[in-house]
Structure 1
Amino acid sequence: MKVIPFKIPKPSRELIRYQVDCQPYFYDKLHQHPEVQLSCILEGEGKLIVGDYIGRFGPGDIFLLAQNVPHVFRSDDVYYQPEEGKQSHSIIVFFDLRAFGKEFWASEELQEVKGFFEHLNGCYRVLVEGRNEFIAQVQQLQYKNKLEKVVGSLHLVDVLMHKATLQRLNLADQMQNLSEREGKRMEQVLQFLVAESHRQLSLEEVASVANMSREAFCRFFKDRTRKTLVTFLNELRVSNACQALLHSDQTIASIAFTCGFSNLSHFNRVFIKTIGSTPREFRRQTTINKV
């Protein structure tokens, strides 16, 4: 299966594509596409991986991705278990800037919008006052006719430009516009790391997944994530630990070992460095915020 590039199923001249993803788990292959993507998560939890960024996503999160940014919304393992009856649900708006045409972007009225799209670089978390209202406006696009859909989408862009805060998530740009071969190799490595991060992994074992030598793999991985394999694995394991701290009553020691850390003290050090608090403080504060 060719992972990169990914083609959005739509007519070639369609300016705006509204899509509903509602299934047990989200599409879990690293992929990129030339359309700008606005995603609203309604149900489901998991990890968002974009370049050097590994973070959690959950209900109510809104993300904006620039053109040709390789990314994957990887649902948590529990969503792959049919007996759990879990559901993942998101709504997505794709903006095809190519379909608008040069004449459209040449108009004086759209220069600010053009500049906004041109300066997008990577993936952003969208922070907006009245988040639920914003998501409701996105949902309403599915009921609009073609012209109303374009006008409504441009209204959302206006909110993004003037009323929202766009929090840049990934810092490295090396993941942008990966070749198909590089993308497929990176996809294989990420899938392997996500599936096997719960156990001890050697550099040789991971390099073999990419069919590369140790030295070549280290350069390949660091060039595209700006992180060593150890750092990336630790952040992946901390992300899994956060999920366990939020949704289970396991002891912190048990979570540390289950997520792939060899000892509790190392887990605590890595967790504090990554999250900024101890696992115990993270669990307690999150519990307080839920009340």
Structure 2
Amino acid sequence: MTHVIPKSPISKTKVYVVKEINAPHFDPTFHSHPEFQLNCVLQGEGNRFIGNNLTSFKAGDMVLIGPHLPHVWRNDNEYFDKESRLSTTVIVIYFHNHFFGDALHLKDEMNQLDSLLKKSERGLEIYGHTKKTVSRMMRKMLGLDGMDGVIQLIKILNVLTKSSEYHFVTHNYQISSNTEAETTRMNKVYEYVMRHYKDTISAVEVASLVNMTRTSFSRYFKSRVNKSFSDFVKEIRIESACKLLKEGNMNIDQIGYECGFQTLSNFNKQFKTVMGKQPNQYRNEFLKVTTDSYRY
């Protein structure tokens, strides 16, 4: 695997870069860069890993990420199959904050924007009416250049500063000063787990992958992700199970085996630990919400 870490998508002559990316799957490399990033997924689904937070994503996912916060949107494994006809689309804006100069920190008019950008250091997931508005503005920005594009970026940031429709993505996450080495190592771990979570995963094998002993790897992983390696694997399996439960094409015991759980009882127990409810309850509640939304 080639590790392009860290990435730097803006040349020194640019204020921002905006682009729409269409590809069979998103770049699966866990990486970071010094720019802010506003990301809006239009098509595709999988798992999103930002800092120490893991969750699933689908079309409509919108996140603002601060500088040097490691992240990856990794599609489900079927997107990587050679015969796959699946595809992805994302609009992404990269920008520096220094184009505002000292005014960002010193002028009263910039207080709200300064606060927003500081919050984005933990990642901000945008939702609700704000997400719909910003999504339309990002689409429009694709057709703009020069000062028109800069003005549109400022308008987008202005909408975000006035909104309360967002929540933090990461919790208690500290960005390492050795970002390149950290992301390279974590990328190896993350990529391996995402490819093999349906199988039995050995912590010893993963530790050797990053040239560490099992004990040192366990300490390292927990200090970086704020959870044990076994809990991390469990959460990935549960996220996958949630998708299958929503699709409704498999019975619950099949889903458990498909997601790497050896017994139905263990699947039920681990699912309740993470989600606070049994798999059948989760599926029934989802189906009820879906039915009610169609009714109204």
Query: TM-score, normalization: structure 1?
Result: 0.92
**1:40–1:63 CA contact under 8 A, matched in 2:** yes
Shift of 1:105: 5.5
1:237-276 mapped onto 2 (5 Å cutoff):
237-247=237-247, 249-276=249-276
**2:49–2:72 CA contact under 8 A, matched in 1:** yes
Tell which deviates more after alignment, 177-186 or 23-32.
177-186
CA distance in 2, matches of 1:131, 1:117: 17
**2:188–2:209 CA contact under 8 A, matched in 1:** yes
1:11 match: secondary structure? coil
Shift of 1:130: 5.5
Aligned to 2:294: none
Opposite residue 284 of structure 2, the aligned amino acid is R
1:82-161 mapped onto 2 (5 Å cutoff):
82-102=82-102, 106-129=106-129, 131-161=131-161
CA distance in 2, matches of 1:5, 1:130: 30
Backbone CA RMSD of aligned residues: 1.9
Opposite residue 68 of structure 1, the aligned amino acid is H
Shift of 1:170: 1.5
When residues 237 and 178 of structure 1 are mapped into structure 2, their CA distance, relative to the original with a 3 A threshold, is farther
2:25 match: secondary structure? coil
1:7 and 2:8 aligned:
yes
Shift of 1:257: 1.3
CA distance in 1, matches of 2:178, 2:73: 18
1:201-220 mapped onto 2 (5 Å cutoff):
201-220=201-220
2:165 match: secondary structure? strand
When residues 167 and 262 of structure 1 are mapped into structure 2, their CA distance, relative to the original with a 3 A threshold, is same
Shift of 1:74: 0.3
**1:43–1:58 CA contact under 8 A, matched in 2:** yes
Q: Any idea what the Cα deviations from partners look like across 1:6-62, whole Å, max 9, x if unmatched? A: 121x33131221121211100110000111111111100000012321101101121
1:148 match: secondary structure? helix
1:177-256 mapped onto 2 (5 Å cutoff):
177-247=177-247, 249-256=249-256
Q: Any idea what the Cα deviations from partners look like across 1:153-193, whole Å, max 9, x if unmatched? A: 11211221212422112213235554322221111111111
When residues 119 and 52 of structure 1 are mapped into structure 2, their CA distance, relative to the original with a 3 A threshold, is closer
Gaps in structure 1 of 5+ consecutive residues: none
CA distance in 2, matches of 1:28, 1:260: 21
CA distance in 2, matches of 1:288, 1:77: 29
CA distance in 2, matches of 1:112, 1:132: 21
**1:127–1:164 CA contact under 8 A, matched in 2:** no
Calculate percent identity across the aligned residue pairs: 26
Opposite residue 202 of structure 2, the aligned amino acid is S
1:285 and 2:292 aligned:
no
CA distance in 2, matches of 1:72, 1:271: 24
Shift of 1:95: 1.8
Gaps in structure 2 of 5+ consecutive residues: 292-296
Aligned to 1:18: 18
Opposite residue 235 of structure 1, the aligned amino acid is E
Q: Any idea what the Cα deviations from partners look like across 1:75-109, whole Å, max 9, x if unmatched? A: 01121124331111110111212344336654443
Aligned to 2:33: 33
CA distance in 1, matches of 2:266, 2:170: 25
